[in-house]
Amino acid sequence: AMLCVAMHCSEVAFLGGAKDEGMSSESIAMAKTALQEADAVCFDVDSTVVETEGIDLLAACFGVYEEVANLTSNAMNGNIKFQDALAARLDIMQPTVEGVAKCLEKEKPKFTPGMKQVMARLQERGVELYLVSGGFTLMIEPIAEILKIPKENIFANKLLFAGDGSYNGFDRDAPTSKS
């Protein structure tokens, strides 16, 4: 059985042993049972595995946080089609290979409390873990490395760069770029 986990960081706290007051004990019991029985688990990354939204973090590194955060909020609320919002945010940022590398060097992943332990326990049981995100492969690879999740288990958006390292779009055919 495969289980997919996509919750905001405050809702996932129970996975590490602490009960979130917003969740019923029945919901917690169902989630724990599902995790115990799963052969594979897909985790959303932004605001689930880590506490931040990768695109907002990247925007902050490129000095356009406010503009991008507003579009992120509108996209999450369904006010703008996800792919259109993604394109608009990247057009504002114009990320470069060098700029992304500097951002990743400066900004280390801030894992949701208890998440690394939950994932380690699942791996000890032989559960296959996947990271699925509307974020970017480049931003998720360091997270996967820390969690010992193979790169081929990452399903996310791919940034495209020109030969000189300048921004050249994103893979619009990736399923993760559509919603």
pTM for this model (two decimals): 0.83
Catalytic choice (20, 39, 46, 171): 46
The arrangement of strands across the sheet holding 40-44 comes to 2-5, 40-44, 128-136, 154-157
Domain residue ranges of the chain, discontinuous segments joined by +: 2-177
- The single residue of 44, 56, 164, 173 carrying the catalytic annotation is 44
Cβ partners under 8 Å of residue 161, min gap 6: 96, 97, 167, 168
| pLDDT tens-place values along the chain, 179 residues long | 666 666 543 344 444 444 455 667 787 778 778 878 889 999 999 989 999 989 989 999 999 999 998 887 877 787 888 899 899 999 999 999 999 999 999 999 999 998 999 899 999 999 999 999 999 999 999 999 999 999 999 999 999 999 999 999 999 999 999 87
44 as an active site residue: the answer is: yes
Task: Give the integer Cα–Cα distance in Å for 83 and 170.
Answer: 10
Which residue from 8, 12, 9 is spatially nearest to 27, judged by alpha carbons? 12
Fold of 2-177: Rossmann fold (3.40.50)
Annotation says 39 is catalytic:
no
d(C-alpha 158, C-alpha 58), whole Å: 14
